[in-house]
Amino acid sequence: MAGRIRQLFRLWRVQAYLDFLWMTRDARYFLICFICDTIINIGTVTAMLLVAARFDGIGPWTRDQAFFMLGYGSVVRGVVNIFCGFNIFHISRRIGRGQLDHTLIIPQPLWLILLTEGFTPIQSSCSLIPGSALLCWSIPRLALNVTPGWVALFLLNLLASVLIMVAVAFLWGSIAFWAPRAAEEINTDVDGALEQIKVFPLDGLGPLLLGSFVTVFPIGLLAWYPSQALLGLRPAAGLLLTPLLAVAWVALAAFVFSRGLRHYVHTGSSRYSAYGHRS
Amino acid sequence: MAATATFGDNPLFVLGHVISILRMVVLLSIWRMIGARHGMVGEMTLSAILTYTLIAKVFGGLLFFKTSFANELWNSAIVTRFLRPMPVFPQYVAEALAVWGTGFLLFRLPLLLLAPLLGVNPLPPHASAAAWFLLSLLLAVLVGAALELFFGSLVIAFGQGDYVVNNLRMALTILLSGAVIPLGVMPWGLDRVFAWLPFASMASAPLRIYTETGPPLPLIALQCGWCVVLWPLALWAWHAQRERLVTYGG
């Protein structure tokens, strides 16, 4: 086990170095990517940010609470970007295009490759900037008792939200094992939903839709619910809901993914012709 | 062909539409929360902003005009377009309109008809607003298409693939066009600045005309102005860049 963990860090270091080389091979390319990605990441939350600023909050959220939620959601996305680049998050592309073969021939366990191959700390670093800035701005303005315990719970919930986001992507992406052509881009649609809806306060929805957003399609667990729990707007037990559901989501995604992989091992991919073109 | 390909290439295309409608439902709930607290939502009545959000969704593909042009610059599919005996860019415009038409007939039109079930009045206050809206919508598509051609040319100019340019354009359009958040609800008087930008002529102008929260003639005049400015610029950019186009296939 200790050897595996050492290997994990070694591979992360290699990926970080490769990412550094990739991004700095051309200063112009690096600057364009960095500036554009920062603008894109700011743009994701700016609309709600402006609405919260204009109306001094949204529904039951005060302005600073809304900023906290937007910052939390943005940091979740940033962490996912950093660890799941190169189509690890959009796993349906790798599966649907038959590129999983490239991964399977590497003499490492699949989980280790999936955990390390998408590590892009340089090119994705800008995706952490807007979220971190929002958290730094909002936390001192909220009547929060920031103790080491609260920070630990914050990090636990953050990790849980990240795991849920990745688990949802893998669960939906696994459809590509059975429908490689049709589902190749399914993660794009799912990602769109997660990104577009997670920044909204969901309080105004009816119980059915709200319940679905916390369980069946857990967009509410990516920012809305954990933020409420961390801000003390929910009973203390609510702080454990997101981590517990994260365990369930990861288990479900791992089960479905392994079933799909078993199917893939028998059928392989038929997407490439003998002369290399993809159908 | 493009319309039928929607079904053949991706039977899961339904998912995208469902997600898009879900987002609209969430946005409607936010306007209701704000309306319940403040009475008005900025300078708009609650009823007007709900209609605005619904119409933005129903005509979304036209108000946020997007083709596969930049993407095909990246994946090289554009090469085969040059071989066809017709201009290149209009092929993309025609395809985008066909794809939008399919989504409109199957999802957006039923959404429009079922809007009262969501508590939203889909009708404009007066029939004249609908007439002005159609003209403004046409101009919005022209402005959007010009920006599409211009940003596509930037993909070649930057030589960085379509990812950066596309996403940058998307981020700017979402924020500045008023397609998601009406410019009138923005703080610090930002709407007075954003309203003059070409992005506002893509979505905000027709939607304001439909909901009668903006005067039709000045808005349409501004859209015409942007068409006059953007089309020569976009055509110049495309003609300057197309000879620099290098593709490998991917």
- Which residue on chain A is closest to B173 by alpha carbon? A43
Residue showing tokens 């809305």: A224
Chain A neighbors of B40, CB-CB under 8 A: none
Of B37, B42, B164, the CB nearest to A33: B164
Mutation pick from A38, A42, A67, A189 vs chain B, by most beta carbons of B within 10 Å, is A189
Question: Measured between CB atoms, which of B12, B38, B171 is closest to A183?
Answer: B12
pLDDT tens string A109-142 = 999 999 999 999 888 887 788 889 999 999 999 9
Q: What is the mean pLDDT of residues A190-219?
A: 85
Q: Which tens digits make up the pLDDT trace of A22-51?
A: 888 887 777 777 777 777 777 777 888 888
Averaged pLDDT for residues A135-162: 92
Q: Find the closest chain A residue to B25 by CA distance.
A: A205
Residue A232's pLDDT band (cuts 50, 70, 90):
confident
Long-range residue pairs from A260-265, CB within 8 A, at least 24 positions apart, any chain? A260/A95, A260/A174, A260/A175, A260/A176, A260/A177, A260/A178, A261/A110, A261/A177, A263/A177, A263/A178, A264/A95, A264/A100, A264/A177
Rounded to whole angstroms, how far apart are CA atoms B229 and B222? Answer: 11
Q: What are the pLDDT digits (tens) for A73-97?
A: 999 999 999 999 888 999 999 998 8
Compute the nearest-CA separation of A193 from chain B (Å): 6
B4: exposed, middle or buried (Cβ count in 10 Å: 0-12, 13-18, 19+) = exposed
In which band, very low, low, confident or very high, does the pLDDT at A210 lie, cut at 50, 70 and 90?
Answer: confident
The reported pLDDT for the residue numbered B196 is 92
Q: Say which residues have a Cβ less than 8 Å from residue B234's Cβ, sequence separation at least 6.
A: B146, B147, B149, B150, B153
Residues whose CB is less than 8 angstroms from the CB of residue B167 and which lie 6 or more positions away in sequence, other chains included? A36, A37, A40
A269: alpha, beta or left? (left if phi > 0; alpha if psi -120 to 50): beta
The ipTM assigned to this model is 0.81
Using the predicted structure, report yes or no on whether residue A231 has a pLDDT greater than 80.
Answer: yes
The DSSP bridge partners found for residue A61 are A58
> What does the alpha-carbon distance between residue B27 and residue B51 come to, in Å, rounded to a whole number?
12
pLDDT band with cut points at 50, 70 and 90 for residue A246: very high
Question: CA–CA distance from B108 to each of B103, B179, B216 (Å)?
Answer: 6, 15, 24
Structure tokens that stand for A79 in this block: 């962490």
Residue of B209 and A204 predicted with greater confidence: B209
Q: Which of A29, A37, A48, A51 is most worth mutating to test chain B (most B CB atoms within 10 A of its CB)?
A: A51
Which residue ranges make up each domain of chain B? 2-244
Low-confidence stretches of chain B (pLDDT < 70) are: 2-3, 6-12, 160-161, 247-250
Q: Do B30 and A205 touch (CB under 8 A)?
A: no
What's the pLDDT at A30? 79
What pLDDT digit, counting tens, does each position of A163-200 carry?
999 999 999 999 999 988 888 888 888 888 888 788 88
- pLDDT tens per residue across span A264-278: 988 877 776 666 666
Please tell me the distance from the alpha carbon of residue A38 to that of residue A41, in angstroms, as a whole number: 5
| B239: closest CA of chain A, how far (Å) | 24
Closest by Cβ to A59, choosing from B33, B158, B175: B33
Is A211 in CB contact (< 8 Å) with chain B? no
Helix (H, G, I), strand (E, B), or coil: what is residue A278? strand
Residue-level pLDDT at B8:
65
User: Could you identify the residue written with the tokens 């898009």?
Assistant: B20
